[in-house]
Structure 1
Amino acid sequence: MKKIAIQGIAGSFHEDAARKYFGDEEIEIVECRSFQSVCELVDSDQVDIAVMAIENSIAGSILQNYSLIRDYHLHVIGETYVHIQMNLMMLPGAQKDDVQTIYSHPVAIRQCAEYIEKYFPNARIIENQDTAMSGKILSVDQLTDAAAIGNLRTAEIYGLNVLDSGIETNKKNYTRFWVLSKHPKQNGGSNKASLAFEVGHYYGALARVLNIFAENEINLLRIQSIPIIGKPNEYTIHVDVEYKSEQNYEKAIHRVLKNVSSLSILGEYVRAEIEITNQ
């Protein structure tokens, strides 16, 4: 049975992502308080795999995680997308009229700001480390005058009733998760890669690299610059590319190597599809 490290506890969106990616395969979820702890467990061989959020369609990239992955030399072996649907949940028997306090993760609170302002303008908002922990607090402390915002798995685990579903403002909100390993994936068949590189300080340096991908019919899906600590005004460029021909991809990589000061292939894997559920 694979041990999978996640940030947060059972019932979180990270657990949703892990179970979605591994499907019917039996896995053991290992809970971690921080993303750094997740990386440490993989690095020390205490778990087999980590599942880590890397970007959200509303909140944007999680820059800290890009840096952690490089610092611990982890490899991206896959990805998955989770449609983020938020729900208001309370203890059995509690009603919305009883709500004086709302618990959730700060990003989840922002994603449901319109709903909260409309129905609970006077409620006290308490931010927590993740949505699942917010639901657990209600259950453990038996808070009948409080609600939590999170996913359906949280309600299931902690015995909460879902009073309102789909309370997020943006109905096409998703989070992308990377599946990480200490070792690169050996089998072929990949059609997507995540790369990190640095270029010199002269005009056209970045454009020259990006043109190499275009000339080899490689689609640039994402570009993100990450500041290099200790080097003001210098950045690592992270890109995700998609390709149909592995030969073209290899040719492009060889040309890119001649035009950058450093290049890291974070991972080569199969691109995941985004599935948005209609509400």
Structure 2
Amino acid sequence: MKVAIQGIKGSYHHQVARQLYGDVALLECNSFDQLVIAVAKADADTGIMAIGNSIAGSILPNYTLIKEQGLTITGEFYLHIKHQLMALHGQGIKNIEEVQSHPMALLQCKPFFRKHQHIKLVETDDTAAAAFRIAKEKKRGVAAVASTQAAQLYGLKIISDNIQQVKKNATRFVVVEKTSRNIDGANKATINFTAGHQPGSLGKILTTLGGLNINLSKIQSVPIIEKPFLFSFVADLEFESVSQFELAKLEIGILVESLEVLGVYKSHVL
């Protein structure tokens, strides 16, 4: 089995892969675009991609990528995120002039860096990759924001630990596959729909879901790329049985202009 992840060994995606599948073969991808294409082309059996963070919010473009490549969400996983500031040994915070990391990681640590105005923040492709390059190229005066595992893997010193804004920081990851399958105990679904243009159309959809005892745990508007300033909605629905969800699809199907199921899967409790 091969799992596609965004980033390299030591990344948070790698941690999720190990939690779900153990010491599995990895396909390391530089971007989420590369990840979904790899799964769509069957270069990997499955993919793991971040979809949102409790501090930074949803990664909306990833929903579009899943839809465009015709992938299906078959699972989810919440990972507690603890960001560490790391650099080559023999350095302290006063020696650091530049910090490199993934933009989402830097965003989650903004308050920490406001206290260190001398540090320049540089966005890179991956947390662990930033740590790897510092170690490989022996960059002094440069630090990375990444996981404890990345520091251990690449032999870096943790200068400051748990520098994220909120200590209870978590990222939601989804498992994506090329084809859908029946998931034992499935109790959650992610849908993408476009509401009608009539006044109150979205309200009717939400009321219908509530009447069917389906919990709407998340709803968010997503830009329709080919139609500027028009939006569809991504929603996470929680239910007790798949048959309950199937009924909901029929009920709201007559209220929407379009409806696509991005995945039916078993929820993960943080």
Which TM-score applies when normalising by structure 2?
Answer: 0.94
Stretches of structure 1 that go unaligned for 5 or more consecutive residues are 275-279
Which residue does 2:180 correspond to in 1? 184
Residue 196 of structure 1 aligns to which amino acid in structure 2?
N
Matched with 1:132 is 128
In structure 2, how many angstroms separate the alpha carbons of the residues matched to 1:53 and 1:101? 26
Give the equivalent residue in structure 2 for 1:74.
71
CA distance in 1, matches of 2:114, 2:253: 52
- Paired position in structure 1 for 2:197: 201
- Match of 2:221, SS state, is strand
| SS at structure 2 position matched to 1:103 | strand
Corresponding residue of 1:277: none
Instruction: Give the 3-state SS of the residue equivalent to 1:6 in structure 2.
Output: strand
Q: Which of 79, 87, 90 pairs up with 2:87? A: 90
3-state SS, counterpart of residue 51 of structure 1: strand
Following TM superposition, by how much is the alpha carbon of 1:145 offset from its aligned partner in structure 2, in angstroms?
Answer: 2.4
The correspondence of residues 127-166 of structure 1 with structure 2, limited to 5 A, is 127-166=123-162
Partner of 2:12: 13
TM-score, length of structure 1 as denominator length: 0.91
1:58 match: secondary structure: coil
Q: Which residue number corresponds to residue 249 of structure 1?
A: 245
Q: Name 1:43's counterpart in structure 2.
A: 40
Cα shift at 1:141: 1.1
The percentage of aligned residue pairs carrying the same residue is 37
Q: Of the candidates 29, 34, 39, which is equivalent to residue 31 of structure 2?
A: 34
May I ask how many residue pairs the two structures share in their alignment? Answer: 270
Deviations 1:179-217 (A, max 9, x none): 000011223320111011112210121111111211111
Higher mean C-alpha displacement, 52-61 vs 108-117? 108-117
Match of 1:271 in 2: 267
Is the contact made by 2:31 and 2:125 (CA closer than 8 Å) also made in structure 1? no
Q: Structure 2 vs 1, CA of residues 231 and 117 (structure 1 numbering), >3 Å: closer, same or farther? A: closer
What is the rounded CA distance, in whole Å, between the counterparts of 2:94 and 2:250 in structure 1?
A: 63
Once residues 231 and 99 of structure 2 are traced to their aligned partners in structure 1, the CA distance between those partners, rounded to angstroms, is: 39
